[in-house]
């Protein structure tokens, strides 16, 4: 496994995305939820979902530590709020804003929900710089873009964006 990791583009940073005011506003809301998660003793991740008409559809944060549910990631929690009450047509017009690049599990939830657009803050490579390489803090080494590329419906993915703001909740959180 370690040899496989060495072959990955471990330190290749994506250039920051230039996002508009509306995307910036909602991404900052997701980042605020990541601060809530951290304040509650969870890993600092947050998500907000906005409908195609600008309606707030869901807000969520990572609650895995407080609930003991390892699937309690922000994006997955947001999708859980939405999928019972909204159809795929509505979700195809929605944007999920995440404080960080969605992990493989969350990207899968986004894929299955039919959400059509994702905007994220800190990318997985930069996040790894905070987290280090401890086994219990590692994610599957797969970009959310790779998961989205396998989708039969288009999922627009924008990020990283607002990197400094999205990084702030992680400063001093991850112990080496």
Q: How buried is residue 155: exposed, middle or buried, by Cβ count under 10 Å (0-12/13-18/19+)?
A: buried
Indicate if 165 belongs to the active site.
Answer: no
105: helix, coil or strand?
Answer: helix
Averaged over 39-65, what is the pLDDT? Answer: 97
Answer whether residue 2 is part of any domain: no
Say if 38 falls within a structural domain.
yes
* pLDDT band of 139, cuts 50, 70, 90: low
- The average pLDDT across 118-127 equals 93
Question: Which CATH number does the domain housing residue 131 bear?
Answer: 3.40.140.10
Write down the pLDDT at residue 134. Answer: 57
**Boundaries of domain holding 75:** 27-170
Mean pLDDT of the chain: 87
Q: Which of the following is catalytic: 59, 66, 75, 164?
A: 75
Mean pLDDT to the nearest integer, 73-79: 98
pTM over 0.75: yes
Band (10; pLDDT cuts 50, 70, 90): very low
- Looking at residue 7, its pLDDT comes to 33
Please check whether residue 137 lies inside any domain of the structure: yes
Are 36 and 129 within 8 A, CB to CB? no
Task: Flag whether 104 is in a domain.
Answer: yes
Residue 165 counted as domain residue: yes
Cβ atoms of residues 162 and 27 within 8 Å: yes
pLDDT, tens digit, 9 for 90 and up, residues 11-38: 445 666 788 899 999 999 999 999 999 9
Examine residue 128 and state whether it is found in any structural domain, yes or no.
Answer: yes
| Rounded Cα distance, 159 and 163, in Å | 9
Spatial distance between the Cα atoms of 146 and 58, rounded to a whole number of angstroms: 25
Residue 45 domain flag: yes
Percent of the chain with pLDDT over 90: 71
Mean pLDDT of 146-174: 93
Work out how many domains the chain is built from and give that number.
Answer: 1
Token pair for 44: 């600092």
**54, part of any domain:** yes
């Amino acid at each position: 496994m370690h040899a496989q990791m060495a072959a990955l583009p471990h330190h290749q940073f994506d250039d920051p995305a230039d996002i508009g005011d509306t995307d910036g506003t909602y991404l900052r809301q997701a980042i605020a939820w990541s601060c809530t998660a951290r304040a509650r003793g969870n890993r600092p991740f947050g998500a907000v979902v906005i409908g195609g008409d600008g309606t707030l559809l869901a807000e969520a944060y990572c609650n895995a530590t407080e609930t003991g549910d390892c699937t309690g990631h922000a994006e997955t929690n947001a999708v859980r709020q939405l999928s019972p009450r909204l159809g795929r047509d509505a979700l195809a017009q929605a944007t999920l804003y995440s404080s960080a690049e969605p992990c493989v599990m969350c990207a899968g939830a986004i894929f299955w929900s039919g959400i059509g657009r994702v905007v994220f803050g800190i990318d997985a490579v930069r996040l790894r710089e905070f987290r280090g390489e401890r086994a219990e803090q590692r994610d599957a080494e797969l970009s959310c873009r790779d998961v989205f590329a396998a989708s039969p419906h288009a999922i627009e993915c924008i990020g990283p964006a607002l990197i400094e703001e999205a990084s702030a909740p992680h400063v001093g959180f991850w112990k080496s």
